[in-house]
Amino acid sequence: MINPLLEIFQTPFQTPPFGQIKDEHFLPAVMEAIREAKEEISQIKSQDHPNFENTIEALESAGSRLAQVSAIFFNLNAAETTDAIQQIAKEISPLLSEYGNDILLDEALFEKVEAVYRQRATLELDEEQATLLEKTFKSFIRNGAKLSATEKVRLREIDQALSKMGLQFGENVLKETNRYELVIEHEEDLKGLPANIIEAAAQTAIERDKEGKWIFTLAFPSYVPFMTYSENRGLRRELFLAYNTKCCKGDELDNRGIIQSIIRLKNERAKLLGYPSYADFVLEERMASGPEQVLAFLHELLEKSKPKAEEEVKELAQFAQELDGLEQLEKWDFAYYAEKLKKQKFEVDDELLKPYFELENTVRGVFATANRLFGLVFEKNEAIPVYHPEVNAYQVKDLTGNHVAVLYTDFYPRAGKRNGAWMTSYRGQRKTATGDQRPFVSIVCNFSRPTKTKPSLLTFNEVTTLFHEFGHALHGMLANGKYESLSGTSVFWDFVELPSQIFENWCYERECLDLFATHYETGEKIPDSLIERLKLAANFHQGYQTVRQISFGLLDMAYHSSSPNDLIDIVAFEKSSMAKTELLPAVAETLMSTSFSHIFQGGYAAGYYSYKWAEVLDADAFELFVEKGIFDPETASAFKEHILGAGGRIHPTILYRRFRGRDPKPEALLRRAGLLATS
């Protein structure tokens, strides 16, 4: 049987032939690709005179088929998974973990790499080559190349176990999310909810064979509007508890034991490699060089933002008391009353804004913004295969018609798709002997579906989410490096959010909004008065939101810098770690750790702080765009060259200085968030 994953793809730009790929193709393809990669490694080890080209560059390009097959498989496991794919993942993950260890623990291979590394002062490498050499050598050291034989065996066991546990954690969260539904039978329980949200809930009920009722789920487009608009406080509490008690109910989906095992193994791995904690291990390769620097950064932000957050909560509690006689503001009340207060203060709310942000128009606006800044043109190409009928594929070109990238967009929730929004790549960018291999990039979101009477209309928060993920996509699409491991988003984790977070800033600018923000029924452009109110409302509850983000960063650092012995009681550990950031009464039953996929399944372990870290960079960088003009060609060109195109070719501190002319100033973030007076 022909396995399409092992053939040259006969598709436009050699994109993945999704329609030909069956579940049963993945495991054999991974096994064959591993065999091929090991042959390539053997060739490197056979070199009598190791040098940069035959060792470091050869190692960089080894296993390219394996990278391609793995990218296709794991991206589908996130966006279009099935029970069968999840089962295959449990077989594939240990194989990949073992392969990675086979490479990084191979003494003969490390000998060749180290021989080249010793010559580095005489090799006359350019900065990208020098970075690749340094990164390659350090990857061996950081993955146990100098451990004893017994220690290497243990490292392999740890990595195998961690790969399985991360998958299981994510599967449990997805199953818990999918199995819950809030079924409403009486129309009076829908009071306060916008018509389109009610219509969507009725549509969900029909799809689940419960016609005549309304169903709300834990998917963001269902959960968030209910918590924001429902007048039924009891149902808000019920949905809040369902969302915030995921995977901590003592059943087969409980993730507490998995968390304890993950932290214990990560700690053991770090100690094995000579680091005091897993956080120390991770942060060695970050702009923030250690846990102390991260904690100092978070605590400084907390000191600046908590007084403002406390004022905001006090004001909201008083507002709720005056409006409804509410004696105690609880966590399930916050979004509901915050939306009402925002509307009263700024005469702006999501329902007023949504008609101006029809999804297709907003996508066109994102494309137009990228065109104005970076000269990109997006053409839908239906010849490019997609993995689901709702996915669109675009060829991306520059202004002269040269091919730049392929972009996939996937916007609606499905049972096989995890919550949230993300950018990913099916193929990275690199320079090869035959030319420039251009990337295949995807953005995946969970926006409200169109209903029978209305198109998909975005909240302003969803608009910023789309711009955010598209910023990541630009980082991938405009990559211009020699080596895939240093290209695009392959940068330090606390730098990777700069392109995404800075792109959100354009959403608030008239010049950008004019490109797409028109009323879906009347065609009227969003009025100036609404934009002004939108800008004023941008800092609404910024103190509260900042403290909330800090709380997640502190919890992450606590997990990854503490002793596993402290985790006997996950509930007590979480409460203690987040105590300084608590602004509302604690809810005893809740536990966010058990669904904290960013750090237990994704790549943010000991790195959640990077969202706030990158906000400092993006606020400082965008001040230059404001000063010069938000579509200033010179500034955009510098950002494209030194940030988006440069990838990880050199330390991000240097790249930022090349763009900005200096180091970032934290005051820019505090100014933007309204936590510091404007100079």
- Nearest Cα neighbor of 492 from 130, 159, 103, 131 is 131
Residue 483 gets which letter from DSSP?
-
Written as one string, the DSSP assignment of 485-496 is: GGSTT-S-TTTT
Q: Can you say how many angstroms the Cα of residue 347 is from the centroid of all Cα atoms in its chain?
A: 32
Residue 469 a catalytic site member? yes
Closest by CA to 64, choosing from 460, 528, 429, is 429
Extract the tokens encoding 270.
């770090």
Tokens representing residue 445 in the block: 């979101």
CA angle at 86 for the pair 85 and 88, rounded to the nearest 5°: 60
Q: Which residues pair with 437 in a beta bridge?
A: 430
- For the chain, the residue count is 679
Residues in CB range of 48: below 8 A, 6 or more apart:
none
Kindly state the tokens that stand for 415: 């049972």
Minimal CA–CA distance to 242: which of 332, 330, 156? Answer: 332
* 440 strand-pairing partners: 406, 427
Query: Is residue 331 a contact partner of residue 236, using CB atoms and an 8 Å limit?
Result: no
CA pseudo-torsion sign 549, 554, 559, 560? positive
Using left for φ > 0, alpha for ψ between -120 and 50, and beta otherwise, residue 213 falls in beta
Nearest of 580, 555, 536, 608 to residue 306 by alpha carbon: 580
Task: Please tell me the distance from the alpha carbon of residue 203 to that of residue 522, in angstroms, as a whole number.
Answer: 26
CA dist., res. 664 & res. 500, Å (int): 17
> Looking at 513-572, which runs of residues are DSSP E strands?
none
H-only helix segments in 273-349: 278-283, 291-324, 331-346
- Residue 441 sits at φ, ψ, to 5 deg, of -115, 145
Q: Maximum Cα–Cα distance for the chain, whole Å?
A: 82
Exactly one of 80, 176, 469, 497 is catalytic; name it. 469
Give 135's contacts (C-beta < 8 A, 6+ positions apart): 485, 486
Structure tokens at 1: 């049987």
> Which residue carries 């991206």 as its tokens?
75
Q: Which residues contact 595 (CB under 8 A, 6 or more apart)?
A: 173, 176, 246, 247, 255
- Give catalytic residues, as residue numbers: 469
